[in-house]
């Protein structure tokens, strides 16, 4: 190549013998030193030889077309090369959107069910009002006891939260489930034992994170989440129990719940706070309708509870999820 | 100015029309993009050097894209497609970097 094609002074001096010291790397040096297409310089040389200025204008139709093609190529590359990995992420986002939409839908329907329930209650009270006051009173007492109505009263607020970090998650080398990451976590079993102890201590109504416990409630694990009334809860778990605050606290501390909570705190670092409250308001439980169970025609002197339950108890999980 | 307008226009056309690239062309697209970038930066440097030539630009652009695609195609046939594309990317990348360095010297004198 003629020296005129190089646009930089040659950076490496020649050795006395006229050989460049980096001659063994000519491929690399030519690549590094002459990145510009030599064609440009050759064309410019030809033009100056013919008496024209060295460079041509960039404002030619050919340039416009070439630039269009380059731009098209760039955007095409960007679009189609981004494609493959968005196929998976698009599905994922779609699923996330579906989950969110359905959760919002379910929440809206739960609210609707609650307002409809309130309407039914009002209509019932209207229908029963006046002449059948005794019936209305009995109905009110029953709904209160069954937990389908919001209730308010003094009580106890118990907050359970996972241990702070795996490092502080209790005593070192204390295997709860074998894995250390599970050590300080609140399990469904903990909530079950605590709520049972609260019932035992005389609680009249209990809700966990706003989910009212009724005769048909279940506290269970699904994957990593704790489900109450088939709704997943997030930590911290706030258990509100209505009852005489003093008695409730004393009884709870005395029975197995108190010692269990202390053991959770001491051994696993589960954070537990207990506080009496002057006024707690618990929501009513939605959808307490019974579909398959009918009133057994056994005289009340018999044992209605044992004849009525077996057929319904193993069907409750399917019957309690009509809205999903 | 015209080349910049053309570049923006091409990008917009690609974004709005979103033409489907045939599947058999897709492996060559990244290499073609890098070859096109190389030609563009070479052209910018030539403009700053005052020796720009539109014919040379168009021919070098097309030749770059075609040769880069051909190398990848050949590599695919020989079973070393990914290695050869890496080689093409390295060579063109070095050229792009030194062209950009030269452009930088022209513009900022640094």
CATH of the domain at A224: 3.30.70.1880
Where does the pLDDT of residue A212 fall: very low under 50, low under 70, confident under 90, or very high at 90 and above? confident
A7 inside domain: no
- Give the pLDDT score at B4: 85
Averaged pLDDT, A275-298: 78
Residues A274 and A223 in one domain: yes
Q: Is residue B12 part of a domain?
A: no
Residues A167 and A240 both lie in one domain: yes
In chain A, the percentage of residues whose pLDDT exceeds 70 is: 73
Whole-number Å distance between alpha carbons of A228 and B36: 60
Residue pointed to by tokens 């909570």: A261
Q: Do B2 and A59 touch (CB under 8 A)?
A: yes
Contact B102 A36 (CB under 8 A): yes
* pLDDT category of residue A202 using cuts at 50, 70 and 90: confident
pLDDT band at A86 (very low <50, low <70, confident <90, very high): low
Q: What angle do CA B19, B25, B27 make, to 5 degrees?
A: 120
What domain range includes position A137?
96-149
Query: CA A74, A75, A81 angle in degrees (round to 5)?
Result: 90
Indicate the average pLDDT of chain A.
Answer: 75
Number of domains in chain B: 1
Name the minimum distance, in Å, from the CA of A74 to any CA of chain B.
6
pLDDT at A175 over 60: no
According to the model, what pLDDT value does residue A104 have? 93
Q: Is residue A4 part of a domain?
A: no
Residue to mutate among A29, A40, A44, A61, with most B CBs inside 10 A, is A40
A158, A271: one domain: yes
Q: Which of A36, A66, A69 sits opposite B45 (nearest CB)?
A: A36
A195 and A250 share one domain: yes
Query: Is the pLDDT confidence value at A277 over 50?
Result: yes
Q: Would the CB atoms of A43 and B56 count as touching at under 8 Å?
A: yes
Q: Which residues of B touch A79 (CB under 8 A)?
A: 14-15, 18
Res. A16 pLDDT band, cuts 50 70 90: low
Convert A215-240 to b/e letters by CB count within 10 Å (16 or more is b).
ebbebeeeeeebbbbebebeeebbbb
User: How would DSSP label each residue in chain B?
Assistant: -HHHHHHHHHHHHHHHH-PPPPGGGGGGHHHHHHHHHHHHHHHHHHHHHT---HHHHHHHHHHHHHHHHHHHHHHHHHT-HHHHHHHHHHHHHHHHHHHHHHHHHHHH--
Residue A164, in any domain of the structure? yes
The answer as to whether A33 is a domain residue is: no
Residue B95 covered by a domain: yes
- Establish if B8 belongs to a structural domain: no
Cα(A63)–Cα(A66) distance, integer angstroms: 5
Contact criterion met (CB < 8 Å) for B4 and A47: no
Give the whole-angstrom CA distance, residue B80 versus residue A37: 27
Using a pLDDT cut of 90, give the percent of chain B over it. 0
A62 contact residues in B (CB cutoff 8 A): 54-55, 58
- A150-173 average pLDDT score: 71
Chain A contact set for B39 (CB, 8 A): 70
Is any Cβ of chain B less than 8 angstroms from the Cβ of A62?
yes
Q: Domain check: are A144 and A250 in the same one?
A: no
Residue B84 lies in a domain: yes
Beta-bridge mates of residue A232: A227
Residues A101 and A194 in one domain: no
| Residue of chain B with shortest Cα separation from A48 | B51
Are the beta carbons of A44 and B53 separated by less than 8 Å? Answer: yes
Alpha-carbon gap, residue A161 to A273, rounded angstroms? 9
Domain count, chain A: 2
| pLDDT, tens digit, 9 for 90 and up, residues A50-70 | 877 777 777 778 888 888 888
Q: Do A100 and A214 have their domain in common?
A: no
Whether B16 is covered by a domain: the verdict is no
Residue B80 in any domain: the answer is yes
Band the pLDDT of A298: cuts 50, 70, 90.
Answer: low
Q: For residues A107 and A157, state if they share a domain.
A: no
Identify whether residues A106 and A175 lie together within a single domain: no
Residues A136, A230 within the same domain: no
Interval A239-254: pLDDT, tens: 999 888 888 888 888 8
Return the residue in B11, B22, B50 with the most chain A beta carbons within 10 A, the one to mutate for interface testing: B11
Distance from CA of B14 to the nearest CA of A (A): 5
> Is A30 inside a domain boundary?
no
- Domain housing B43: 23-108
Residues A120 and A234 in one domain: no
pLDDT cut 70: percent of chain B above it: 99
**A132 and A237 fall within a common domain:** no
pTM here?
Answer: 0.45
């Amino acid at each position: 190549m003629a020296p005129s094609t190089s646009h930089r002074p040659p950076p490496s001096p020649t050795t006395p013998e006229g050989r460049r010291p980096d001659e063994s790397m000519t491929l690399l040096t030519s690549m590094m030193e002459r990145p510009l297409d030599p064609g440009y310089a050759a064309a410019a040389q030809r033009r100056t030889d013919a008496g024209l200025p060295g460079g041509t204008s960039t404002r030619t139709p050919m340039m416009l077309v070439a630039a269009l093609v380059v731009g098209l190529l760039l955007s095409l590359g960007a679009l189609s090369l981004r494609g493959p990995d968005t196929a998976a992420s698009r599905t994922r986002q779609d699923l996330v959107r579906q989950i969110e939409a359905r959760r919002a839908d379910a929440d809206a329907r739960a609210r609707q069910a609650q307002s409809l329930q309130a309407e039914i209650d009002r209509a019932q009270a209207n229908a029963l009002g006046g002449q059948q006051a005794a019936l209305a009173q009995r109905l009110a007492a029953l709904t209160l006891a069954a937990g389908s109505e919001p209730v308010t009263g003094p009580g106890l607020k118990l907050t359970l939260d996972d241990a702070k970090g795996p490092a502080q998650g209790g005593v070192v080398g204390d295997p709860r489930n074998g894995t250390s990451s599970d050590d300080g976590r609140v399990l469904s079993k903990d909530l079950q034992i605590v709520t049972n102890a609260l019932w035992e201590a005389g609680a009249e109504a209990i809700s966990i994170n706003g989910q009212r416990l009724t005769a048909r409630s279940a506290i269970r694990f699904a994957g990593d989440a704790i489900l109450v009334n088939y709704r997943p809860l997030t930590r911290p778990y706030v258990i509100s129990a209505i009852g005489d605050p003093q008695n409730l606290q004393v009884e709870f501390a005395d029975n197995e719940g108190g010692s269990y909570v202390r053991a959770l705190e001491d051994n696993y670092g589960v954070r537990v706070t207990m506080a009496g409250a002057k006024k707690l308001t618990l929501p009513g439980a939605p959808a307490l309708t019974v579909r398959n169970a009918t009133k057994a025609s056994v005289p009340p002197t018999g044992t209605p509870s044992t004849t009525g339950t077996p057929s319904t108890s193993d069907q409750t999980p399917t019957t309690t999820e009509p809205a999903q | 100015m015209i080349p910049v307008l053309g570049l923006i226009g091409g990008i917009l056309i690609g974004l709005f029309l979103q033409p489907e690239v045939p599947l058999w062309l897709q492996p060559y697209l990244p290499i073609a993009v890098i070859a096109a970038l190389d030609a563009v930066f070479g052209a910018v440097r030539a403009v700053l050097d005052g020796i720009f030539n539109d014919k040379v630009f168009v021919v070098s652009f097309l030749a770059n894209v075609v040769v880069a695609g051909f190398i990848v195609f050949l590599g695919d046939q020989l079973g070393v497609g990914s290695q050869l594309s890496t080689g093409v990317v390295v060579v063109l990348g070095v050229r792009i970097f030194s062209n950009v360095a030269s452009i930088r010297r022209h513009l900022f004198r640094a």
